[in-house]
Amino acid sequence: MKLCVPGERLCSTEDCIPGTGTYLRHGYIFASLAGYVLRKNEGEEVTSINPRFAKVHILYVGSTPLKDRFRGTIRKEDVRATEKDKVETYKSFRPGDIVLAKVISLGDVQSNYLLTTAENELGVVVAHSEAGVQMVPISWCEMQCPRTHAKEFRKVARVQPEYLQA
């Protein structure tokens, strides 16, 4: 286990997801408390982003949690149904987002499953701001932090009422 102090840069947001006792700044995760760094592999949904695709871990099929981890890829052209050539992947997803997606095919050995969010009901359902607060959707392409009021681009899912839990 690694000991860290406040202000210490821990890792890139492309490699890790921030947790309790951390903050984000300029694409990196920093310690806000002194203590030991705990790295977890569970709960990573969107794991990495590049201009061509987002890599994800598939955690559920419908409402059934999976015992094994499956990997998937959302290609740039599968993010939305219209204006596919104007999609910017980093404006649609961020590492740590929880995304509702649909399997469109079995991919290759590296990506396992190809996924799509090209429907109004598909996209980001949970995202956290740099302040670590769960953001609220304000449009189909933006979410806002309720604490700092900062806005961030996302491909927001229009979640159907029957899937919302109080």
Is 74 in the same domain as 26?
no
Is 10 in the same domain as 77?
no
Phi, psi at 49, each rounded to 5° = -130, 140
Is 80 in the same domain as 115?
yes
Is 78 in the same domain as 153?
yes
Pair of tokens at residue 162: 């029957």
Q: Give the least confident one: 15-19, 28-32, 48-52.
A: 15-19
For residues 97-123, b (16+ Cβ closer than 10 Å) or e, as one string?
Answer: bbbbbeeeeebeeebbbbbbbbeeebb
Is 29 in the same domain as 52?
no
Q: Return the CATH number at 65.
A: 2.40.50.140
Phi, psi at 85, each rounded to 5° = -75, -15
Domain residues for the domain of 8 are: 2-37
pTM: 0.68
Q: Return the CATH number at 11.
A: 2.40.50.100
Most confident listed range (20-29, 81-90, 145-154): 145-154
Overall number of domains in the chain: 2
Over the stretch 115-149, which tens digit does the pLDDT of each residue have?
A: 999 999 999 988 888 888 889 999 999 999 999 99
